[in-house]
Structure formats: structure tokens, C-alpha cells
Chain A
Amino acid sequence: SQTIHQWPATLVQPVGSPLSLECTVEGTSNPNLYWYRQAAGRGLQLLFYSVGIGQISSEVPQNLSASRPQDRQFILSSKKLLLSDSGFYLCAWQAGGSYNNEQFFGPGTRLTVL
């Protein structure tokens, strides 16, 4: 069966500090991978998605970036965090080869920028 991991689970960072969130998937090959952000009381906002190693599509212009160095690893980064970057960051995977299949979420990382 497939599992998806994210770490860290929680993070408190000062404004202007760097960020690195990691997501890994087990039990599947060549998945589509996604980064979402959920602000308090709001819906999910798609940040980035990837259909393969080194292939990143950005949905929202911002100070965040994403990378996919390995098939089942997806990393979200920032060089300098803003207060507005606070939120619940969710990684999701979807079976590769189809854009209409279900997406499954990891446990998430709750980021607070002070």
C-alpha cells in the first residue's frame, strides 16, 4: 500500500529565515506530486505540482519554490519567509498517467512565521 510522509510536523520560524519542507511517498512509482497551503478557515490553495523528476509547475507567484530531486521526493523551500507564509502545508500524491484520479494527502506541516 502507498504511504506519504511529511516532516517536520510543526515548525516555528522567524520572518526572513529559510524554509525546507520534505515530502516522500512509498509504494508507488512515478506519482504526480502536489504542494498545497491551507490558511486558517480557508480552502486549499495549490502551490506547485510535479509530474516527474525535475518537472515543476508553479500555480501561484510567491517567495516559495519546489524541487523534485527523486521520483518520490518533493521539497518545498523558501529563502526568506514572510508572515503571510504561515499556514498548514500539505503534500499530496496522485497515480501518475492520469490527471483525474484521486489525490491523497500527507499528514501536513503546520508552519508559524513570527
Chain B
Amino acid sequence: QKEVEQNSGPLSVPEGAIASLNCTYSDRVSQSFFWYRQYSGKSPELIMSIYSNGDKEDGRFTAQLNKASQYVSLLIRDSQPSDSATYLCAVNNNNDMRFGAGTRLTVKP
């Protein structure tokens, strides 16, 4: 079983729609959770971090965490073509950071 699982996609949404990206993890005692955006050929860029159950909003981005279900998600509202990238989910437990393989998102104009 993979430690951090993401649907590889590609996920395609029209411009202006909500993009929903999902991630599950296997280590029940994980303590911190992150979403990174990675454009093709570039390094990952941190866009959201979440540490407790519930929702955390930052601009057009909302991260959702459910530790009981071992599930973390990222919602992107009003998706723009510039949001087209691969989104990496990362789960950390005391310096043991594990990354998913990423979900490729395409936002079509």
C-alpha cells in the first residue's frame, strides 16, 4: 500500500469551475499536511498547509483535512488556465515527509 495516494489524473476542468484534488495517507499519526503546486520542469511550490481537522481557506484555495478518514483535499475555486500544473500532496510525521506522485490538473479556457 502506498503511503500517500493521489489520483494521477489528468483532471480536466473548464475555466471558472471548481477543481477538487484528493489525497489519502496510511500513517494514522501524521501531524502536518501540505499541498504543493509543480509546473512542468519546475520545482514544487508550497501553496497550502493544514494541521488540524476541518477547512482552511487562502484566497481561491481551500484545504480540507479529515484525520479519522486519513483524507486531505484541495479545492481550487474559479479555476484559471494558470492553475494547470501537477499538485503534490505531502504528509509529515516528525521529519518523515512523504509525497504523493501528484495529480495533473488541466484548466481549459
Which A residues lie at the B interface, using CB under 8 A?
A: 32, 34, 41-44, 46, 49, 88, 90, 99-108, 110
Contact = CB atoms under 8 A, between A and B. Distances in A.
B95 A99 contact: yes
Given A43-B88, A100-B32, A49 B95 contact: yes
Interface in B56-99: 88, 90, 92-95, 97, 99
A56 to B, nearest CB: 13
**Chain B interface helix/strand/loop/mixed:** strand
A101 B92 CA distance: 9
Contacts of B90: 103
Contact of A43 (B31, B34, B42, B102): B102
B13 interface: no
Interface string B35-46: 010000111111
Contacts of B88: 43-44
A106 to B, nearest CB: 6
A102 B99 contact: no
A43 B43 contact: no
B94 A105 contact: no
Interface size class of B (residues with CB under 8 A): 20 to 34
A105 B92 contact: no
B43 A46 contact: no
A103 B49 CA distance: 10
Contact of A103 (B31, B46, B93, B102): B46
15 contacts: A32-B95, A43-B99, A43-B102, A44-B44, A44-B99, A99-B92, A99-B95, A100-B94, A100-B95, A102-B49, A103-B90, A105-B36, A105-B44, A108-B42, A108-B43
B100 A102 contact: no
B94 A102 contact: no
Contact of B92 (A41, A100, A106, A107): A100
Contact of A102 (B31, B43, B46, B93): B46
A43 B46 CA distance: 15
B85 to A, nearest CB: 14
